Amino acid sequence: MHKLLGPGFAESIYEEALAVELSRREIPFERQVPLTVKYEGFCVGEGRADLLVGGELIVELKSVEQLAAVHVAQVISYSKAFERPLALLITFNVALLKNGIRRVVNSRR
């Protein structure tokens, strides 16, 4: 999909295209999955993960030139909230997609 679209589109375009590919391959996934942020047992906010694949893998999509520490922190926070140890952080604003994929492991859930 990245080869056809290339870099430069908004995240929502890549999310839609990725959803098409996952559907075509019959890989179960959910989009814009809501999460509740809790503090001391109280709900203090809400967020959304771009994709949850197979009920296990969090996938957060970006369309930035370079992934920053704040993007990694966001994915780690989502990992904690969803109680899932593994996530992918993907930026599509790269010439070669493999250079835009970062695997994030949260060993402290």
Residue keyed to tokens 């899932």: 84
**Which domains, from first to last, does the chain contain?**
2-105 (3.90.320.10)
Identify the three-state secondary structure at position 71.
helix
Over residues 7-36, the pLDDT tens digits come to 999 999 999 999 999 999 999 999 999 998
Q: What angle do CA 55, 72, 67 make, to 5 degrees?
A: 115
Confirm if 89 and 60 have CB atoms less than 8 A apart.
yes
10's CB contacts (< 8 A; 6+ apart) are: 63
Over residues 54-98, the pLDDT tens digits come to 999 999 999 998 899 999 999 999 998 888 999 999 999 998 899
Burial class (CB in 10 A: 0-12, 13-18, 19+), 101: middle
Of 54, 2, 50, residue with least CA distance to 27:
54
**pTM, 2 dp:** 0.88
